[in-house]
Amino acid sequence: MELREITYFTEDDETVIDLLVELGFKRSFSKVLVYLLSKPESTIRDIECGANLRQPEVSLATTYLLNRTWISCRAVQGGTKGRPVKSFRPAKPFAEILADIKEQKMEEARAMMLNVRLLQAHARDCGILKPC
């Protein structure tokens, strides 16, 4: 039997996860990202155990994070037989990931403000909004 070291979340990790969720990320995505930032080289099985997630949740989260280029993946031959095991690690430092998140949220805010201005202008044109 092979013994493995599994990393679990600290209170600080849970706070970071909660803040990412507040920013609009799914909890499972946040858990996988924080897990990989705390333990840089992990297999799907390690993430499942350490983040307390099921395999489909981990697969969806890793696909999302791979598409955002925040993590990278490589195949590791587990033994002499069978399929290679995927190993994941952060592709960027957390500061760069945070900068990506900040830029995304700023863009969302700009788009919302543009919609508010368009609504205001349209309401004036239709006579719904009376000038003060």
Taking the chain (132 residues) in runs of 10, the rounded mean pLDDT of each run is: 71 95 96 92 91 95 96 83 88 95 96 95 83 62
**pTM as predicted:** 0.83
pLDDT for res 34: 95
Find how far residue 104's CA is from the centre of its chain.
13
pLDDT for res 16: 95
12 CB neighbour count, 10 Å cutoff: 10
Asked if 111 and 123 count as a contact pair (C-beta separation under 8 A), the reply is: no
The burial of 116, by beta-carbon neighbours within 10 Å (0-12 exposed, 13-18 middle, 19 or more buried), is given as exposed
45 CB neighbour count, 10 Å cutoff: 14
| Token representation of residue 118 | 């368009």
- Give Dmax over CA atoms of the chain in angstroms: 78
Helix (H, G, I), strand (E, B) or coil at 131: coil
Asked if 73 and 86 count as a contact pair (C-beta separation under 8 A), the reply is: yes
pLDDT for res 111: 97
